[in-house]
Structure 1
Amino acid sequence: MKISTKGRYGLTIMMELASRFGEGPTSLKSIAEKNNLSEHYLEQLIAPLRNAGLVKSIRGAYGGYILSNDPEHTTAGDIIRVLEGPISPVDFTEEDDPAKRNLWLRIRDSIADVLDSTTLKDLITYNDAEQANDYMFYI
């Protein structure tokens, strides 16, 4: 499964909204400018996120978008599924070899586990230096 720009840019939108959670609405224009993305494309992506209940739109001169839930209650999996559809590395049928089908299911479940265990809060508070210390290499 390859995540397209829909999923990647959708995740960017949601991370920007998460980083400003509780500060009021954020315009797509400001997100687009900060991340050097097309505002028009972001407008196409925000609609399914709104329809799925992940974001709310605020109308008016100082309007924009806000997260519907706290960043720790929305996962990367929620966002990717809305924008990309079901998580599956390959399309397979019942006629496929059972060993291969088992492999594809295990890969799908591993990807889903990572996406579903990673919240927006995890993404916006990620610290490269802290993560680098998680691994110890000896030579």
Structure 2
Amino acid sequence: MKISTKGRYGLTIMMALGKNDGKGPLSLKSIASDHELSEHYLEQLIAPLRNAGLVKSIRGAYGGYVLAKGTRDITAADIIRVLEGPIRPVEVMDDDDPAKRELWLKIRDAVKDVLENTTLDDLIHFDHDHQVQDPYMFYI
């Protein structure tokens, strides 16, 4: 499964809103500026996120967007599904070899598991110091 810019930028929007949670609305203009992204493109992505109940819009001079739920209640899967559609690495065909079919289903389930068990809070508070080192990194 390849995550397009829709999914990647959608995660960026949601992480920015999550980091700003409790501080008031955040404008797409400021998110676009902070991350060097197209404001126009972010406007296209925010509508499905709002329609899915993940964000709320606040009108007015100091308006913008806020999360509709807590950062622990929104998963990466929620965001990716809204913007990318169903999570599946390949279209599994009924006439596929059973071994290949089983492989595709295992890959789908593994990707789904990671996305469903990674909350917005996890992404916001990712600790670079405690990430797993590359097991194949050699030092001389």
TM-score normalised according to structure 1 size: 0.94
How do 1:1-139 and structure 2 match up within 5 A? 1-132=1-132
d(CA) in 1 for partners of 2:96 and 2:132?
40
Q: How many aligned positions are there?
A: 138
TM-score normalised according to structure 2 size: 0.93
d(CA) in 2 for partners of 1:60 and 1:95?
56
Q: Deviations over 1:97-121 (max 9, x none)?
A: 1111110000000000000100010
Q: Deviations over 1:5-42 (max 9, x none)?
A: 00000000000000011111000000000000000000
Q: Deviations over 1:53-95 (max 9, x none)?
A: 0000001111000000000110000000000001111112111
d(CA) in 1 for partners of 2:8 and 2:105?
23
Q: Percent identity, please.
A: 67
* Structure 2 unmatched runs, 5+: none
* Structure 1 unmatched runs, 5+: none
Instruction: Give 1:27's aligned amino acid.
Output: S
Q: What value does the CA root-mean-square deviation take over the aligned residues?
A: 1.8
Moved over 2 A (4+): none
